[in-house]
Structure 1
Amino acid sequence: MNKNMNNMYPYFFLIPAILIYGTFFLVPTALSFFYSFTWWTLTDWEFIGFDNFIQFFQEPSLRIGFRNTLVFAFTTMGGKVILGLALAVFLTSKIRNKDLLRSIVFFPALLSTIAVGYTFSSMMHPTKGVINTILSFIGITGPNWLGNPDIALLSVAMTDIWKGVGIATVIFIAGLMAIPTHYYEALKIDGGSALQAFWHITLPLSRPAMNTVIILALIGGLRTFDLVWAMTGGGPGFSTDLLASIVYKQYAAGFFGLSTAGNVLLFLFVALVAFPIFKFINRKEVDL
């Protein structure tokens, strides 16, 4: 008996974590799946089967929402990977004031997303915004960044990249600093160039960090709501509507069951997109 208790003793420390995880994740997730099949309010509910899902798929903006969500997620993910890796290579090179520059790059990640959204929406104003004012000084007529349906989603995506590239850079810096320096020394002795060092050493050996950035940025992009809502509210028209903003509109209109079904679909959509990509990019990693 005492031996069994000794074997179980370490697992007792998991109980607080299990309770917190179950209370704030497992239980709400299970309730979301249940209430997606109901018509419900704060005081009452009625089981209606798949009616919420059928109605949600009849939303006129849903097709645009799926397309916009994929475009936004892959655009922001690509931008964070490319810029994050470039900044990490620069910030791990032999430059002065390295720590200060790293702090400046990471600073946007500390800001409130809503505050960033309102700030950039003001900066992107077609006539009074700072961006178009600067462009006018050099003879360029700036576009209506958030009012033009053709570029509004891209404008929001660029803002998201600006805010999130700092985290990607930090992850890449950690990955680059873990690469043994003797690889670079051996290549230098063999007469290799800086480009060859990047292509044959830095890029393959930073793959674990790159995989982390890809998955985090992709899932974050698929779930984005707050930045889009602060900058455009899903407009003009449905041009910047994402799945998350469509769900929010249903909730704000009082269709709680419908919005819950949308949340379930968003959860499944993120899983169906992210999981295969996660399996693909982690098939083979380079060992140091």
Structure 2
Amino acid sequence: MVTWYKNNRIKIAPYIFIAPNILLFFAFMIIPILFTFYISFHEWSILGSPSFVGLENYIQMIHDPVFYVSLKNTLYYTVGAVSVSMVLGLTGAILLNRKIPFVSLFRGIFFAPVVVSLVATGLIWSWMFNANYGLINHFLSTFGISGVNWLNSATWAMPAIIITTIWFKAGYCLVIYLAGLQTIPSSLYESSEMDGANSWHKFWHITLPLLKNTTVFVTVISVINGFMVFDLIYTMTNGGPGYSTTVLIQYIYQKAFIEGHMGYGSTLGTVLFIIIMIFTSFIMWLGRDKD
């Protein structure tokens, strides 16, 4: 036994070290996902025992107009916030990647909003978007533009939330892109300049292709966060006015924890999980190495 242990301890050691992580992953990821899928076929109010209803919750979802509204709002928010944040982040990263003084200071300033609590961010920007005394309307009035009732308008509430998201999400994208830019050898740019390449050619043929993996990572993380947004919208509009800013996560919360329909909430959660998996897989497929 001792001889066997001495011969195999090197092989066993890695599994011993990763075992706690695997157990935690199963406990907090795999098991909840499987349990959610199981409950989606039941009617359950937490207090009683789950009652099997088959596909009834899924049929209800198909005929639920609020589900489609919340899905549309989620896509609207995700596309708007992610696309603009990534463009601004990449632009800022390219500017900061040049040899300018105080780069670390600027990087810290742009990244600072990322570490602020989203609840605090929502409260601050709710005040800034206030129709009567908010800084946004005050700024617009200096140019002779009449103010907008941002958070109480079905038209402007979601754009206001997207603007708020861009404020902190762009800094995150900037830092990740800047790290990716600093891994690109300067010799590639020098060689291209000798061949007569201008700034646009260098960006299109060197920078962008070599940032492919970084772009895939940023896109996947940002899209997942976009589909999972809750606290910011809950703080700023609570899904209103009407259902104009209600997203899937908030609708799940409302159905499961406010109304007590855990089965239907689990159905919505299962569908959201599938949607995220589809989008994530598609993004990673687009960013795959084609060699």
TM-score by length of 1: 0.92
Shift of 1:4: 4.5
Which consecutive unaligned segments of at least 5 residues does structure 2 have? none
Task: Report the equivalent of 2:283.
Answer: 277
Shift of 1:161: 1.5
Q: Please, which of 228, 235, 239 is the counterpart of residue 244 of structure 2?
A: 239
Residues 43-84 of structure 1, C-alpha deviations (whole Å, 9 max, x = no match): 422222222222233323111111111121111121121011
Could you say what secondary structure the match of 1:101 adopts?
helix
Give the letter for the 1:35 counterpart: I
Contact 1:80-1:164 within 8 A present in 2 as well: yes
Distance in 1 (CA, whole Å) between partners of 2:25 and 2:35 is 14
Give the letter for the 2:268 counterpart: G
Task: Report the equivalent of 1:74.
Answer: 79
Contact 2:46-2:262 within 8 A present in 1 as well: no
Shift of 1:5: 5.1
Could you say what secondary structure the match of 2:43 adopts?
strand
Distance in 1 (CA, whole Å) between partners of 2:290 and 2:154 is 40
Identify the range of structure 1 (207-216 vs 37-46) with the bigger mean alpha-carbon deviation: 37-46
Distance in 1 (CA, whole Å) between partners of 2:206 and 2:276 is 33
Give the letter for the 1:7 counterpart: K
Shift of 1:148: 2.2
Could you say what secondary structure the match of 1:138 adopts?
coil
Classify 1:284/1:82 alpha carbon distance in 2 versus 1 (closer, same or farther; 3 Å).
Answer: farther
Q: Please, which of 161, 175, 195 is the counterpart of residue 156 of structure 1?
A: 161
Which consecutive unaligned segments of at least 5 residues does structure 1 have? none
Task: Report the equivalent of 1:31.
Answer: 35
Distance in 2 (CA, whole Å) between partners of 1:204 and 1:258 is 44
Contact 1:80-1:168 within 8 A present in 2 as well: yes
Shift of 1:92: 0.9
Residues 258-285 of structure 1, C-alpha deviations (whole Å, 9 max, x = no match): 2122111111121122212221222448
Give the letter for the 2:39 counterpart: Y
Distance in 2 (CA, whole Å) between partners of 1:192 and 1:259 is 55
Q: Please, which of 188, 195, 200 is the counterpart of residue 200 of structure 2?
A: 195
TM-score by length of 2: 0.92
Distance in 1 (CA, whole Å) between partners of 2:69 and 2:289 is 32
Q: Please, which of 165, 171, 188 is the counterpart of residue 166 of structure 1?
A: 171
Classify 1:142/1:95 alpha carbon distance in 2 versus 1 (closer, same or farther; 3 Å).
Answer: farther
Residues 96-140 of structure 1, C-alpha deviations (whole Å, 9 max, x = no match): 211111001000100111111121111111221111012112211
Could you say what secondary structure the match of 1:61 adopts?
helix
Root mean square deviation of aligned Cα: 1.8
Contact 1:80-1:217 within 8 A present in 2 as well: no
Residues paired across the two proteins, number = 285
Q: Please, which of 249, 252, 270 is the counterpart of residue 264 of structure 1?
A: 270
Q: Please, which of 15, 19, 27 is the counterpart of residue 15 of structure 1?
A: 19
* 1:50 partnered with 2:55: yes
Identify the range of structure 1 (81-90 vs 40-49) with the bigger mean alpha-carbon deviation: 40-49
- Superposed, 1:134-149 pairs within 5 Å as 134-149=139-154
Question: Taking every aligned residue pair, what percent have the same amino acid on both sides?
Answer: 34
Shift of 1:6: 4.4
